A and B are shown apart, each in its own frame.
Chain A
Amino acid sequence: MRRHGRAPEPIPLAKLRPPSPHPRLVPRPDLEARLSRVWRSPVTLVSAAAGFGKTSAVVAALAAGEGGERPPFEARDGPIAWVALDDRDDDPQRFFRLLGAALQRATGHGAELERALAAPQPPPPRALLTPLLNALAEADARALLCLDDLHLVGDPRVFDDLAFLVEHAPPGLRLLIVTRADPPLPLHRWRARGQLLELRADDLRLHADEVAALLAAELGRPLGEATVAAVQRATEGWAAGVRLASLALQGAGERDERALVARLELGEGFALEYLAEEVLARLDAPLAAFLLDTAALDAFAPELADAVREADDARASIDEARARGLFLQPAPAPPGAPAGHAWWRYHRLFRALLQGRGRVAAPGREQDLLRRAADWFEAHDAHEAALEAALAADDGERVARLLDAAAYGLVMDGRASFVERALEGLPAAASARAPRARLAYGWALLLRGRYDDLATVLDGLDGDAHALSPADRAQLAALRAVLADTRAQADDALALARDALAAAPEGDTVTRAAAQMALAGAHRELGDAGAAIAAYERALALCRAARLPVPEGLARAHLGLLYVQRGHLRKATSVTMPLGGATGHPAAAAALASRCAALLEQDEREAVRRALPEVTSLAERAGQPAVLANAHLVWSRLHRADGDAVLAREALEAALAQVERGVPAWLRALVAVRAAEASLADGDVETAAVHLRAAEDGGARGPVEAELVLARGRLHLRRGTPEDLDAALDAARALVDAEGDADPGEGVRLAALVLLALAQAAQGETLAAQATLARAVRRAEREGFVRTFVEAGVTCAALLAGVGHPYAARLLAAFAPEDRARAGASETPWDVGVPDAAAAAVGLTERERHILRALAAAGTYRRVADELGVSVNTVRFHVKNVYAKLGVGTRLEAVDRARQLGWLGER
């Protein structure tokens, strides 16, 4: 049975309903009065062992609040959000999904939490709690959130988030915890702050008069003082013990009662064990046998009980056990159990006593019963329940077989940790016969991004792949492809992904989505941006169909970055628009980071400033170095756009630090390229060269390779020697003219045009430069490119001033006012690099500055003379004065000096 993209398992309503209050035999007004203070305390902890009557005390107190004879709750009470936990809820996703459902029922808020956590790849609950708490605070909602049996949860992530919830809860939200063991929450802190109301075993113990009243009510007759005292001492007021004692006394003659009291007064032995034996001894043999047998099961329906016992008295026995008050309670149906049955289970304590008795009475019978229970569940297609019975029976062969059939469905239902535990418990021989279970576990590891563990599982599957069906082998190939892609083994990834796609059944969207993701990643790594985009688009559609938000977010992120490079800014901003199911999801962070990159290019700085902090914190929480590196790159460009070079550099350092934590090769190269550009902008040519060498060594291919060529060109431009300018010109022309497979995309082409224009300007070809820039401006308008121009600096602004196009004016407006002013004040574009004040400080005249700049850029004295419209001798005259004022002896020194002073850059 294979199900894809299916709806999540519904939450049984029984888990969200408080148990109905039993008519109480012994009223406990003191206890209920204390409990009624729950509305005044942020947290209430009811902590005591099984059988102390914790839940019934809470339920009675809550019911009293709804108006009974007893004094009602405080006036400020509100609705109850009840969650009855079981051992399947020891998982953050399931736990907080229940919590969302309960709060939704109580307050009308929480549906989003429940819905988001129902996905196979849910966001971390913490990301969803803040909006929920805000909504509750805004609505001034009131609710008492009751977590019953919290001791069944042990996952530390649950308690981290639960503590967060308590610390940030609005005043209307109160928490009540019922548990057998104190939870790992900061109880001491809450206690110290007076935020914790506690009821513990000593508060719950029955006093002597209460024991007397309870026994009298159960037995319908008053008991002697000695009997009451003996029961009180032996049970220490433990409600379950007192109930057991009353059962043992039921139908006991006077002599039996005296014997029982004498035995209890000896104070030896374990009183409960003895009382349970007394209870069983007084029952009819068939009923006692029924109790001992059914105690082997977590829960049972009459049909199941008859099947495992090979009998037909279950209904009658259940009725009789109920009538005698033998601790039988309605139970939720086991997972996947057939509908239409009524399920029962014993009180935990009574069940344990019966189980122990049963093991002594008939060794080995428990295993037989459990094996037959597994048969029954299997016959009813309840694989998970069958699996649990087989696990309890310690039947490794059957566990392997069942796990092989059910594991995939369990993993896709978010029960990966159950599969993991079951697999780990298997002996190696049995595990070898469960290759599909290990394959399913591989998916679980992939969904959680545990690639190293995935590699171990896949290696282990090598020898057993022959046992897999062709469709399963397609899954294996897809998993291997994804793994190869994460390790930048692009050729392997490509081949494996193609195998997987060829063999995967049409309906297996999960396998196809994974294979397309791997295919796209390989294309990207191999430099084929067009094929990568096509594969990511296909992957995106499949991920949506399969409800896999993590790869969906990654596909969107990649598409966003690729579209920016291809010049499709509008497509980039729309494809990165998250994400129906993934608000607050780390997967959304990746897409949002790409979106910010596209928005920043359009100079939508406000939108970027609003979105970026959330992106960064989401990615930090999820520990995603690649997303963080991307986000820090955007931060760096944003700070530079805001004119803050220090923050820009810090953000870049942060991006470089993320690269060290491990990112794909293409991103490593891209960060190095951006670092080089930042160094150039800061005037640090040497560091820029170092970064560029690092990017080259990283083997940049495809879109990043084009970025690298651009950055190299900018470095040459900055160096400014005639040879450098020629090299810059060549690099820019090559990118502008590239066609077909080599086409770097419109985004890169625009940047290349801008570089070409600057190089032309530096060579004194002002008119050609303006023509080139005009071409860029016309092409930029369609998609709204802005920062590519602004980041090119003040020379670009000066050239833009001469471009007669409306969009050029729009671009000019995006420059910093001082850049605009400097550009506008210049007579000619090529001297704007020499700051007026600095030049004046060494006493250069305006003509001498022109000469100096021209020397650096243009080459021969003849050419300089022609450009300035003076004679070569006049040029020589000015040059001598420039040398003197700069304290240098040669032309090379003069240009170097001017460069050291930062006069020959674009800014």
Chain B
Amino acid sequence: MNPPAARTYEIRVERHLGPAAGALFPGFDVRHEADGSSVLTGDLPDQAALHGVLALVRDLGLVLTEVRVVAGA
């Protein structure tokens, strides 16, 4: 069974996330931007996984401002 091509995503949310919030996104690096936002960067195997991450963003009440693919892994 070949998994569909994994991709690297960047997910931008408002506010700087601390380590505890960052730990909720295993496999993602958290980068703090100068404009006060955070960018989460990580590989996800498929769209279903992406939607899982976005649901967590929603459940934490984070304000989502951008989602983009940076590379096909």
Q: Which residues of A contact B (CB under 8 A)?
A: 49-51, 151, 180-181, 238, 240-241, 267-274, 276-277, 348-349, 352-353, 355-357, 359-360, 424, 428
**What are 10 A-B contacts with C-beta separation under 8 Å?**
A49-B59, A50-B61, A151-B55, A240-B61, A268-B15, A269-B16, A270-B17, A273-B20, A356-B19, A356-B23
A270 to B13 alpha-carbon distance, docked (Å): 10
Find out whether the CB atom of B59 lies under 8 angstroms from the CB atom of A356: no
Q: Which residues of B contact A (CB under 8 A)?
A: 1, 15-24, 26, 36, 55-56, 58-62
Find out whether the CB atom of B61 lies under 8 angstroms from the CB atom of A272: yes
DSSP majority for the A interface? helix
Q: Please indicate the chain B residues that have their CB under 8 angstroms from the CB of A277 in the complex.
A: 18, 20
Q: Identify which of A268, A273, A349 contacts B59 (C-beta below 8 A).
A: A349
A180 to B26 alpha-carbon distance, docked (Å): 23
Find out whether the CB atom of A270 lies under 8 angstroms from the CB atom of B59: no
A151 to B52 alpha-carbon distance, docked (Å): 12
Q: Nearest chain-B residue to A238 (Cβ)? A: B61
A271 to B55 alpha-carbon distance, docked (Å): 19
Q: Please indicate the chain A residues that have their CB under 8 angstroms from the CB of B60 in the complex.
A: 270, 272, 349, 352-353
Q: Nearest chain-B residue to A354 (Cβ)? A: B20
Known: A49-B61, A51-B61. A268 touches B36 (CB 8 A): yes
A359 to B22 alpha-carbon distance, docked (Å): 10
Supplied contacts A269-B16, A272-B60, A359-B23, 16 more A-B pairs, CB within 8 Å:
A50-B59, A51-B61, A180-B55, A181-B55, A238-B61, A271-B15, A277-B18, A348-B59, A349-B61, A355-B23, A356-B20, A356-B21, A356-B23, A357-B20, A357-B23, A428-B1
Q: Nearest chain-A residue to B15 (Cβ)? A: A270
4 closest residue pairs by CB, A with B: A356-B20, A359-B23, A357-B20, A356-B24
DSSP majority for the B interface? loop
Known: A268-B15, A268-B36. A276 touches B20 (CB 8 A): yes
Find out whether the CB atom of B58 lies under 8 angstroms from the CB atom of A273: no
Find out whether the CB atom of B62 lies under 8 angstroms from the CB atom of A352: no
A134 to B18 alpha-carbon distance, docked (Å): 55
A428 to B3 alpha-carbon distance, docked (Å): 12
A657 to B19 alpha-carbon distance, docked (Å): 62
Q: How far is the CB of A239 from chain B (nearest CB, A)?
A: 11
Find out whether the CB atom of A355 lies under 8 angstroms from the CB atom of B24: yes
Q: Please indicate the chain A residues that have their CB under 8 angstroms from the CB of B20 in the complex.
A: 273, 276-277, 353, 356-357, 359-360
Q: Nearest chain-B residue to A351 (Cβ)? A: B59
Q: Nearest chain-A residue to B13 (Cβ)? A: A270
Q: How far is the CB of A582 from chain B (nearest CB, A)?
A: 33
Q: Identify which of A181, A241, A269 contacts B18 (C-beta below 8 A).
A: A269
Q: Nearest chain-B residue to A428 (Cβ)? A: B1
Known: A49-B61, A349-B61, A355-B24. A270 touches B56 (CB 8 A): no
Find out whether the CB atom of A356 lies under 8 angstroms from the CB atom of B61: no
A270 to B23 alpha-carbon distance, docked (Å): 13
Q: Please indicate the chain B residues that have their CB under 8 angstroms from the CB of A352 in the complex.
A: 24, 56, 59-60
A277 to B19 alpha-carbon distance, docked (Å): 11
Q: How far is the CB of A362 from chain B (nearest CB, A)?
A: 11
Q: Please indicate the chain A residues that have their CB under 8 angstroms from the CB of B21 in the complex.
A: 270, 273, 353, 356
Q: How far is the CB of A395 from chain B (nearest CB, A)?
A: 15
Q: Identify which of A180, A348, A360 contacts B19 (C-beta below 8 A).
A: A360
A352 to B53 alpha-carbon distance, docked (Å): 13
Q: Please indicate the chain B residues that have their CB under 8 angstroms from the CB of A273 in the complex.
A: 17-18, 20-21
Q: How far is the CB of A624 from chain B (nearest CB, A)?
A: 29
Q: Please indicate the chain B residues that have their CB under 8 angstroms from the CB of A360 in the complex.
A: 19-20, 23
